[in-house]
Chain A
Amino acid sequence: EVQLVESGGGLVQPGGSLRLSCAASGFTFSNHWMTWVRQAPGKGLEWVANIKQDGNEKYSVDSVKGRFTISRDNAKNSLYLQMNSLRVEDTAVYYCARAIRTTVTIFDYWGQGTLVTVSS
């Protein structure tokens, strides 16, 4: 059974940092592009970043460039999101999701999400 389990969320002050993790199981992690999508409270979905199977290609939305870094460790079946210089508007549930193997950008499995709250 495919499982994605996020962790690392919490309350942080503006300007602070957090590192989110996503533990994958039930599939060959190294065969799939992976992504982070966030959802602010009561709002819609926003794509944050994605990363190629070998970690050598990464893309992100402009609003997080220079602040967030996506990475992965295929040996540990884990996806990460390092978030620095956090802003109030980064408050959201952060989901990790798997892309269908033959695609980059269609997400067939999602974790349950981890809540990040940026507030003083």
Chain B
Amino acid sequence: EIVMTQSPATLSVSPGERATLSCRASQSVSSNLAWYQQKPGQAPRLLIFGASTRATGIPVRFSGSGSGTEFTLTISSLQSEDFAVYYCQQYNNWPPLTFGGGTKVEIK
């Protein structure tokens, strides 16, 4: 099973600032990585797949990068609606599909 590790667990950022979230895989997942956003009481929302492809309707301030074992989600200028928990998910080696533990982006 591929273990996904996200850091930091919590990121405190001021509105308008850049946020950089990390995701590390226990072995290479190539570019088979997705990012999801989840707000309290809501279902997850797909942001990025293929490590860097934005899903339909996702603002350009969200960008993904990386391959192999190291990945980054960057939010270029945080808006109020971006404060949420973010999860990475690998789909290179499955079953099982595995998610990271999440990074909570909170208002500084």
Contact = CB atoms under 8 A, between A and B. Distances in A.
Interface residues of A, number: 24
B43 A110 contact: yes
Interface string B19-57: 000000000000000101010001111100100000110
Given A45-B87, A59-B94, A113-B43, A108 B55 contact: yes
Main secondary structure of the interface of B (DSSP, over half): loop
A47 B96 contact: yes
Contacts of B102: 44-45
Contact of B49 (A62, A106, A111, A113): A106
Contacts of B36: 45, 107
Interface residues of B, number: 23
A110 B96 CA distance: 19
A60 B94 CA distance: 10
B44 A110 contact: yes
A62 B36 CA distance: 23
A27 B46 CA distance: 18
B91 A60 contact: no
Interface in A71-117: 95, 97, 100, 103-108, 110-113
Interface of B: 34, 36, 38, 42-46, 49, 55-56, 87, 89, 91, 94-102
Given A47-B96, A106-B46, 20 more contacts: A44-B87, A44-B102, A45-B36, A45-B44, A45-B89, A47-B95, A50-B97, A59-B94, A61-B96, A97-B44, A103-B91, A106-B49, A106-B91, A107-B36, A107-B44, A108-B55, A110-B43, A110-B44, A112-B42, A112-B43
